[in-house]
Chains A and B, each alone.
Chain A
């Protein structure tokens, strides 16, 4: 049997009193892609930094192609490439200059450097931008160059530390293609990611990291089988109703449904059958769900299933120097809306009709527009300024978006939220001040239901929510119609675009 390309045994790393890695084991066979999946602060980047000889472990052993990273870092460095969070390119140098610099420092012979740089620029579709400083590149271009830089020395082992975080769907798919090519050529890739989907698409094996330990190490298929392939999530009007729903649903599925506040969540491998039964059962027992989401399991679901905890975002991961971060901000519009929603929900709980002008206006508009909206949605305005491909994609998705989610008293106007998401995205990319008003009501509602933390900055929360709203809308669209991977992609992409937009601003 061949020795593994990467071997990690009992790897520990402390930063002061913080234990970033508490004894991690895994191995990666040659010519495969291995995914380290986990949230910020899980220890993924720390593991990559140790394996790429940037920092030394506190304990344990890490071997790359048979060389100990601590005892033989020189040998390791000759055989690895690093891209992503832990590595960077010089913004003032052009793409070609960066590749040539890395080529020189990777000890390529002078005559090989130019041809290698040309080859990579061509492969990553950066030929036209080759002679422009990196600071003029878009996020996707910069990330492609970053990965290209990792490949200059033709390394046998490549570390990609969250290579697609913050990329739009198109750039992400392109990068995925390149990563798959690398492995086809015989390289071994260690990929870290926060996205289950990414690990699922690319990795032969996935190790789920949480709090500095590996909580699962398996193939993507096996991990998903453990989770059940589909998550059904119900939002109800009250805790009491949610408890009733939970006990009803417990009779329908083998796994016990989980409840958190007004939400009930269950995983199933037989979504169509279970969903039908869930709806029938709710209807028969006179329970009106506020919202229903049907989706693929997310990283959060994986964690919930494996650890019993939600993903905890550690903002200042010890593996990386802390970056300045603005504190909690709430815009007046959101505070106002939050108050309004509180009053409104208070009213509903006492059996009254909603009497909050903002919400009422929202509702009224919905009814007025209902007939009109039944027809073809007006999407020209929304697709304005997008590339042809993106516009076509968006148009096809918008025509399938449902106009409302859930039933009963509260109607979430997901289409409106999706529209807000797009204008928000455009503002963010154009560097304009973000207008929070269109989403304020929705935000407040979500905060009220505890789906986002009050600690999150308004913009962060908004971006997450809008993305989630789009995802939810698309998810609903797919539950009533045929499964729609493209729509899910769009939703996921929207979340990332928004997060990226925010990431650069916060």
Chain B
């Protein structure tokens, strides 16, 4: 064995460097996203279609007191985009399980946490790009900030925070399902009620009573309302900006507290 050990170019450090591992995995995931730009493009086509449809097809029929429908819609589109986009996290995770890449990672002297942290961090960067692009599309179709620039940027950051929280949820989904196609099929039916039975596109008050309770308080709604309040201020008949923002932050914290340990536990079990 001496021949091999002498050939070793360094003395291995037990445990390694967790941050370096995490950055390496993040870099790898970002490169993958860049090499398969179709995925990002398709992630963006859908919200653009939604913007155009809702803005121009239905926008005329929906009256928003104190503002315009396009101003109401765009914050909802932010949340819808990052929510559906979170599916990519599940698909990416599942693809790495299926291909056997995670098995190789598992055999390496790397930080156990780096795989999940690297996946969610890469998706954080992806979501920053996505949110910036959607904001651009929004401004193009007539969206205007009615609060201050600082509040609006706060809204975007909240949106990105929510996306980050979701990436932990969907990383867990990916780990549970373990197959990209199934991940896609499994996640959509779960996501759709949250996105559509929410305040993202229309006011919750227009929904039947039995649905309102859920639609009012579920996280997608709350975060959409918070981002909206930060962008265009408090609308008549709605809670205050600080109420929505506080509730949204509580939701994010709550989900993270549950999902991060769950994802790590699942990761240890899966691979």
Interchain CB contact (< 8 A) of B100 among A78, A85, A101, A116: A85
A90 close to B28 (CB less than 8 A): yes
Provide the residues of chain B in CB contact with A156, threshold 8 Å.
Answer: 1, 4-5
Provide the residues of chain B in CB contact with A74, threshold 8 Å.
Answer: 14-15, 109
B101 close to A90 (CB less than 8 A): yes
Q: B58 at interface (Cβ–Cβ under 8 A)?
A: no
Closest beta carbon of chain A to B42's beta carbon, Å: 16
- Against A, the Cβ 8 Å flags (1 = close, 0 = not) of B93-137 are 000011111011111111000100000000000000000000000
State A116–B3 Cα separation when bound (angstroms): 17
B100 close to A87 (CB less than 8 A): yes
For the complex, count residues of A whose C-beta is within 8 A of B.
44
B1 close to A65 (CB less than 8 A): yes
Q: B13 at interface (Cβ–Cβ under 8 A)?
A: yes
Known A-B contacts A54-B106, A65-B1, A85-B100; the reply to A108 vs B9 at CB < 8 A is: yes
B9 close to A109 (CB less than 8 A): yes
Q: B32 at interface (Cβ–Cβ under 8 A)?
A: yes
Known A-B contacts A75-B14, A86-B103, A87-B103; the reply to A186 vs B108 at CB < 8 A is: no
A107 close to B103 (CB less than 8 A): no
Interchain CB contact (< 8 A) of A154 among B7, B16, B108: B7
- Against B, the Cβ 8 Å flags (1 = close, 0 = not) of A100-133 are 0110111111001000100000000000000001
Closest beta carbon of chain A to B90's beta carbon, Å: 16
Residue pairs across A and B with CB atoms within 8 Å: the count is: 120
B1 close to A107 (CB less than 8 A): no
Q: B46 at interface (Cβ–Cβ under 8 A)?
A: no
Q: A193 at interface (Cβ–Cβ under 8 A)?
A: no
Known A-B contacts A88-B100, A90-B28, A90-B32; the reply to A54 vs B107 at CB < 8 A is: yes
A107 close to B106 (CB less than 8 A): no
Query: In this complex, which of B7, B105, B107, B108 has the most chain A Cβ atoms within 10 angstroms of its Cβ?
Result: B107
State A108–B8 Cα separation when bound (angstroms): 9
B28 close to A101 (CB less than 8 A): yes
For the complex, count residues of B whose C-beta is within 8 A of A.
41
Q: A187 at interface (Cβ–Cβ under 8 A)?
A: yes
State A156–B47 Cα separation when bound (angstroms): 52
A88 close to B107 (CB less than 8 A): no
Interchain CB contact (< 8 A) of B10 among A52, A65, A92, A108: A108
Provide the residues of chain A in CB contact with B14, threshold 8 Å.
Answer: 74-75, 78
State A309–B85 Cα separation when bound (angstroms): 52
State A187–B5 Cα separation when bound (angstroms): 10
- A59-109: which residues lie under 8 A (CB-CB) from chain B? 65, 74-75, 77-78, 80, 82, 85-93, 97, 101-102, 104-109
Interchain CB contact (< 8 A) of B104 among A82, A97, A185, A186: A82
Which residues of A approach B to under 8 Å, CB–CB? 5, 30-31, 49, 52-54, 65, 74-75, 77-78, 80, 82, 85-93, 97, 101-102, 104-109, 112, 116, 133, 149, 153-156, 185-187, 321
What are some 26 contacts across the A-B interface (CB < 8 A)? A53-B106, A74-B14, A74-B109, A77-B110, A78-B109, A86-B104, A87-B104, A87-B107, A88-B103, A89-B101, A89-B104, A90-B28, A92-B35, A92-B36, A97-B31, A101-B24, A102-B104, A104-B24, A105-B109, A116-B9, A133-B35, A153-B12, A156-B4, A185-B4, A185-B7, A187-B4
Q: Which 8 A-B pairs have the closest CB atoms?
A: A186-B3, A88-B100, A87-B104, A77-B109, A92-B35, A105-B110, A104-B24, A52-B107
